[in-house]
Amino acid sequence: MDENVIKIENLAKYFDGRCVLDGINLKVPQGCIYGLLGRNGAGKTTIIRILLGLEPATRGQTFLLDTESASLSPKVRGRIGCVAEGHNLIQNYKVSRLIKLCKDLSLQWNDEFFRLLIDTFNLPTDRRVRELSMGMRAQLNLALAMAIDPELLILDDPTLGLDTVARRQFLKLAIGLIQQKDRTILFCSHILSDVERIADRVGILAAGKLVVDCPLEELKERVKKLRVIFPESAPQNLYLTEMINQETQGREMVITVANWNRQKQAILETFKPSSCTEVPMSLEDIFIECTRPDSNSTES
Amino acid sequence: MLALIKREIRDHIVYFIAAAICSAIFIAMGLETVHEYNPRNPPVFPIGIGISLAAIVTAGICAMGATQMYFDKTRRVSALLSTRPVSRSMILLARIIAGLLAILTLLAPIAVATTILLRLFTPPIPMYSGLVWEIFTATFLLAFACYCIGLQTGWNTNALTPTLGALGLTCIFVPLILIKGPGLQIVVILQLFITASLVRTWNKFLSTPL
Amino acid sequence: MKSSTSYSLKVFATGFIVLTLLSIPLFWLRSLCQTAIAELMPREIKSVDISPSGLVPPELENDPNVAQHSRVGASINSEVPSSIGLADYFITRLPGASRSNVYLASSDEAWMYFDKNLGQIVHQYDEKSTMPDNSTLRKIIRFYIGPKGISELPDEKLGRFFDPILDGNWIVRRWEKAKPRELILYDKKLRCFFRIDFDQRTVVKGPEVKKGFPNDHPIQIGRLYKNEFSLDLNWSAPHIKVPRKDADRTDLQANINDSFSIRLAATLKDADRTDLQANIKPIIPTGFWSDSGPYLLVLDETGRIELLDRETLELAGSAGWLPGPRSYFYSEQSQKPKDLLAYEVQALTLRTHYFENPEEVITTFGDTLYNFARQPSRVDKEYLGMFAASVSRDGTALVLTVFDKESKRITTEHTKLSTNVSRPSEYLHSSKAAFWRAPWAPVSTIGKYLAENLHPPILSLASYFTASVFEAGSGHRALFLLPNSFVAMVGRDSRGNFAERFASALWWILPSIVLAAWLAYWVSKDAVVVGLSGKARFYWIIGTIAFGLTGYITYRLTRPKITLVTCANCGKPRRPDMDKCHRCGSGWQVPELIPPAWRVLNGTEQVPDSSTADAEQAVPE
């Protein structure tokens, strides 16, 4: 079996003539927790839906557990747990009926673990799904996804609607899950502190492309934000390749650069700055820098 | 698979109940006709009521197919089920089996009752045995074909389209039995039509975004 | 490969659905036009009369007291019931009908059917007899009848019938609870006639009908008819005026529906002619069902009618043939039963009943539906001849012919429309009048023609080639092929060579071909836009030309439903699901998306891609 549990090759997706994804290539190895990030409308949910076979790709191919997404067999689906955006559950079913249905359809079901989750989340089983709050639906969805003991867990904004305590519980569960051997998680979230807490690798979508795809720690190493002070006014002709952002105010220039290396260092030093200090960035800071609308583009 | 079929039946139990009621009505009409039968003056009213009921039943079966698909699309049932270890083919197959069972719930008791009544009230010769079989087969296939029309038109978020579409196409299609009459020809045509409808529904369901 | 197979399947499936759903309303449209043509035919071209019939002995026909000569008439009825398959199904399959193995089932105790497993005819009836103590004893009698005998128990020694044809008149009389003694049948496989005598309990086998002889493929015996709803054939004996004082005399009684016989003109000789009133009675009343006397009529598949001697069970010579109506289309003038929408044949017999008193001689036409106070000691039957009427396949022409006992044709009358009142010899045949002269007929005819031309051209052509296969009357239920269409009528025309006839057929479906070509042009244009391959385009053009409107609708339903995007290279619409532009072959550029020039990928140095290649900046000195 391929060590990559998820593979995306040249994926393109159009909606009514509008391009959303333009040539996405992505590989998620086994045992990895991959955080897929992007602004609203970047295409994260689209990628997940295509991976799960819920949406056809316009061009390109996607593979889950060595199987093409468009032809996932029930056996392969049985190894995948999924929490979709919006928590699409059958609204008019009672929770107990929904649980029974999911249990009957599953290839394997960890009833003890599931009961634990239900008790932990304190979910009422005699109510209809539409009568549950958003957070409770999220919890139910999570419990249903985890009860099958999946090899691969795909989560699309799983903590949407969860309160802080529930979010922390989820993170704990997720960590507990990945500590089991060979478990892989792909998840999208807007709460980057959670992603930072648990993800091994991150990917960032922008303008239909995957502009970042690397381990989290390496991302922090390779994307640098520098505050550079010049003796006189900041030079206008300071150009560095792969510059993400540049802000100038008087003698001070703040630049964010991707793939910082010695060559770029040397180039900067030729401008004889008075000082050059690194501004520490969290994942959230990096994300904001990478996805700002005025971020340097091909044409600029 | 059984779980999927049970789910379909439970979600559309109203159609099974309606089918059982219609079946009972038809059988009651048959008993009434037999009771009052005079060869020199055969009663005409059962024919009129029978035709009206048949029209309602056909529309109802078509509606069942349409509502199965419509509620799936609006309630995103298949979107949920697709995240479970089931394929779209299995979901659709379970749906079709549920539809077939509803049709059989309607027609099988009528066929059995008709056979028994004919045995009891007609001379002990094979007067109608071939007729009963041919009529039952043609009716079953016609009902299934109407159901398939419902399946095709129901996959829509707009409630009006499946309703009008299904009704319209059923109104056009059902008179086929008037044109051809029961027999081998209509069986062949209906089988081909059903196969074509199922292929089309399959193709659409398997390729549509959920 | 998989997707092309899937697409092909989808196209064929959709095509069949569209074809079926489109054919149904077109059927009703054609049916409406056809019914309108039939219904709007003026009455004068729907019926024909022959009077005097020419079959009644001259001494009766020319009697001075005759006020109204014998008359035979035929008229076309609307054939709507049989044109609906559901009605036809029940009409032909219920007990007693042409396609049922049950010949009669008048009660739980009285029935008759052919048991295919046994190969024998099983007949049961009940008989009532009065006992000495005046009580009624009811006895159930059952017979098993095979070619070798008749028995009250099933017995293999009775032999097997395979495909029997029974005397239709006998069956009718049994339904009416009469008890005719003898039954004659013919078995198609054994090629013999059989006479079954229920009183003597014998089965007599006739000689084998040799192959190659005239009438070696009988299809009906006794009662010869087809589509009885479509044709009315009636006979009326000569009527005389009777004196008022005799009007109520029961021995002169002449209720036309009753079969009481009256004394011959001997009683009328003394009538006071000046005292004659306007009461007109038939000389000799007849029952509705005719009787061919010592013979039985046998119809062959070629339309020839033979006489079968009831005693010897041998064919005794020709009685006549089914007449061929004069239709608008030459091909419809066939006289074969298969090519006629309806026909009916009735024989005429003179019966003479002798009683113990030799002076009492009573003569009737007609069958055994009489009710004498006493039974005659002898009945002589003389076959006088027959009359036959037939209706053309399209239901617009009727012909009536009278044959004498020598099978010589006496008179033939075709339905026609007089075009000049002052010149009776100027007339139009009814078929032509039905299509063009009757009120609203041209509208209906053109409507039918246009409805046929909305049908797929390939199926219209198939109708041309298969026209002869369909029996008249069954073609009304055709959905995909059109055996009653104008092009099919041309297909049945045997005149001219193949090329001429085919060219004529193409001329008849020219509007259909023009429509198909025009639709194919639009399909071809759209196929280029949606990026179908050259091969697919070719198949679609051929398919649309062949299937016309059906093909076009199928294309619209199955064409790729993809929103096209503008190619950044050539500026024309292109399909986003194809790697290269199907017009200019260029790859993909998405100008509306402006991704950043930098990448942080895979934990190594960035992998250069085309979007960043142009963004390399010069390193300033």
What global pTM score does this model have? 0.86
Render pLDDT for C104-117 as a digit per residue (tens, 0 to 9). 877 777 788 899 88
3-state secondary structure of B50: helix
Partner residue opposite B3 with nearest CB, options A90, A91, A101: A101
Res C511: pLDDT: 94
Nearest Cα residue in chain C from A215: C603
pLDDT at C497: 81
Q: Among partner residues B130, B186, B196, which is closest to C17 by beta-carbon distance?
A: B196
pLDDT beyond 90 at C14:
yes
Q: Do C576 and A23 touch (CB under 8 A)?
A: no
C17-28 mean pLDDT: 94
Cβ neighbours, 10 Å, residue A250 = 10
Domain co-membership, C480 together with C388: no
pLDDT tens digits along C208-233: 887 766 566 888 998 898 888 788 88
Q: Cβ contact (<8 Å) for B173 and C102?
A: no
C425 and C488 belong to one structural domain: no
Residues of C in contact with A225 (CB under 8 A): none
How far apart are alpha carbons B76 and A86 in whole angstroms? 11
User: What is the pLDDT, as a whole number, of residue C361?
Assistant: 61
Pick C12 or C286 by higher pLDDT: C12
Q: What is the ipTM for the molecules in this complex? A: 0.93
pLDDT at position C267 is 39
Nearest residue to C351 (alpha-carbon basis) of C310, C374, C381: C381
pLDDT band of residue C333 (cuts 50, 70, 90) is low
Classify residue C455: in a domain, yes or no.
yes
**CA gap A278, A289 in Å, rounded:** 15
Determine the structural domain holding residue C469 and report its residue range.
1-40+439-561
Measured distance CA(A136)–CA(A53) in Å, rounded: 26
β-pair partners for A13: A21
Q: Which residue type occupies C467? A: A
Q: What percent of chain B has pLDDT over 70?
A: 94
Query: Is C454 in the same domain as C547?
Result: yes
Residue C199 contacts B, CB cutoff 8 Å: no
Which candidate in B195, B200, B206 is best for mutational testing of the C interface (most C CBs within 10 A)? B200
Question: In this structure, are C468 and C568 located in the same domain?
Answer: no
Q: Do C600 and A259 touch (CB under 8 A)?
A: yes
**Strand, helix or coil for residue C282:** strand
pLDDT of residue C259: 27
**At residue B156, does pLDDT exceed 50?**
yes
CA distance B89 to chain C (A): 15
Residues C293, C316: Cα–Cα separation, whole Å = 13
Residue in A14, A215, A237 closest to C603 by CB: A215
Q: Report which DSSP code applies to C41.
A: S
Residue A87 has pLDDT above 70, yes or no: no
Q: Of C435, C456, C483, which residue sits at a domain end?
A: C435
pLDDT band at B202 (very low <50, low <70, confident <90, very high): very high
**Neighbouring residues of B37: CB distance < 8 A, sequence distance ≥ 6:** B43, B121
CA distance A31 to A200: 9
Closest chain C residue to B184, measured at CA: C89
pLDDT-based confidence at residue C609 (cuts at 50, 70, 90)? very low
Name the residue among C17, C28, C85 with its Cβ closest to that of B197.
Answer: C17
Instruction: Report phi then psi at B117, rounded to 5.
Output: -65, -40
Q: How much of chain B, in percent, has pLDDT values that exceed 90? A: 54
Q: What percent of chain C has pLDDT over 70?
A: 80
B125 close to C (CB below 8 A): yes
Cβ pair B23, B109 in contact under 8 A: yes
- Clarify whether residues C412 and C509 are in a common domain: no
Q: Does any CB of chain C come closer than 8 Å to the CB of residue A61?
A: no
Instruction: Report the range of poorest mean pLDDT among B84-88, C352-356, C529-533.
Output: C352-356
Average pLDDT over residues C573-601: 84
d(CA C431, CA C394): 9
Region A57-86: mean pLDDT is 91
> For residue C617, is it within any domain?
no
Which secondary structure element, helix H or strand E, spans residue B111, and what is its range?
helix B88-121
Among residues C521, C545, C561, the one where a domain terminates is C561
Q: What angle do CA A34, A39, A44 make, to 5 degrees?
A: 45
**Cβ contact, residue pair A242, C590, below 8 Å:** no
- Alpha-carbon A70 to chain mean position: 22
Is C330 a residue whose pLDDT tops 80?
A: no
Residue with the bigger pLDDT between B36 and C537: it is C537
Per-residue pLDDT for C13 more than 50?
A: yes
B21-59 residue pLDDT tens: 999 998 998 888 877 766 556 556 666 777 777 888 888
Give the model's pLDDT for residue C531.
Answer: 82
**pLDDT digits 0-9 by tens, C246-298:** 555 544 444 332 222 333 333 334 333 333 333 455 555 454 445 667 888 99
C86 vs B195: CB contact, 8 Å cut-off?
Answer: no
Position C605 scores a pLDDT of: 43
Residues C3 and C92 in one domain: no
Q: Is B82 helix (H, G, I), strand (E, B) or coil?
A: coil
A121, A94 contact by CB (below 8 A): no
Inter-chain CB pairs, B–C, below 8 Å: 91
Helix (H) or strand (E) holding C221: strand C218-221
The answer on C376 and C334 residing in a single domain is yes
pLDDT, tens digit (0-9, with 9 covering 90-100), for B59-83:
899 999 999 999 999 888 999 998 8
Structural domain includes residue C208: no
**Whether A188 contacts A194, CB under 8 Å:** no
Name every chain A residue with its beta carbon within 8 A of the beta carbon of B83. 52, 77, 80, 82, 84
Q: What is the pLDDT of residue C135?
A: 84
- In the numeric block, the tokens 């792969």 are attached to A242
Residue C324: inside a domain, yes or no?
A: yes
Asked if B3 and A78 come within 8 Å (Cβ–Cβ), the reply is: no
Interchain pair A296, C594: CB under 8 A = no
Q: List pLDDT tens digits, range C356-400.
A: 765 556 666 544 334 555 667 777 778 888 899 999 888 888 999
A95-109, A269-283, B92-106, C482-496, range with the lowest pLDDT: C482-496
Chain C CB contacts of B127 below 8 Å: 95, 102, 105, 111, 113
Q: How far is A280 from chain C (nearest CA, A)?
A: 18
How far A71 CA sits from the closest chain B CA (Å)? 9
Residues C425, C285 share a domain: yes
Interchain CB contact of C591 with A (< 8 Å): no
Phi, psi of C348 (to 5 degrees): -125, 130
Determine whether the interchain pair A208/C612 forms a contact, defined as Cβ–Cβ distance below 8 Å. Answer: no
pLDDT in tens, C481-525: 998 888 888 887 777 788 888 888 898 999 999 999 999 999 999
Q: What are the chain B neighbours of A91 within 8 Å (beta carbons)?
A: 75
Using CB atoms, list chains with 3+ pairs below 8 Å to chain A: B, C
**Structure tokens given for A171:** 């993170």
Assess whether C123 and C253 both reside in one domain: no
To test the contact with chain A by mutation, choose from B83, B204, B206 the residue with the greatest count of A C-beta atoms within 10 A, namely B83
CA distance C156 to A130: 75
Q: Is residue C385 located within the same domain as residue C237?
A: yes
**Average pLDDT value for chain C:** 79
Q: What total number of domains does chain C contain?
A: 4
Phi, psi at residue A262, to the nearest 5°? -65, -35
> How far apart are the C-alpha atoms of C179 and A4, rounded to whole Å?
92
Confidence of residue C316 (pLDDT cuts 50, 70, 90): confident
Same domain? C262 vs C283:
yes
The whole-angstrom distance between B181's CA and the closest CA on chain C is 4
Q: Quick one: pLDDT at residue C597? A: 83
pLDDT at C278: 39
Among the residue ranges A248-257, C265-274, C433-442, the one predicted with the least confidence is C265-274
Domains detected in chain A = 4-206 (3.40.50.300), 220-291 (3.30.70)
**C469 and C519 fall within a common domain:** yes
Q: Which residue in chain C is spatially nearest to A213 when comparing CA positions? A: C601
pLDDT digits (tens, 9 = 90+) for A189-232: 888 988 898 898 999 999 899 999 999 999 999 999 999 999 98
Q: Of chain C residues 83-142, which have a CB less than 8 A from chain B?
A: 84-90, 93, 95, 101-102, 105-109, 111, 113, 122
Q: Does residue C61 belong to any structural domain of this protein?
A: yes
Arithmetic mean of pLDDT, C534-546? 95
Helix (H, G, I), strand (E, B) or coil at B148: helix
Whether residue C619 lies within 8 A of chain A, CB to CB, comes out as yes
Task: Check residue C306 and give left, alpha or beta (phi > 0: left; psi -120 to 50: alpha).
Answer: beta
Q: Which of B167, B178, B191 to mutate to test the interface with C (most CBs of C within 10 A)?
A: B178
Bond preceding residue B182 cis, omega within 30 of 0: no
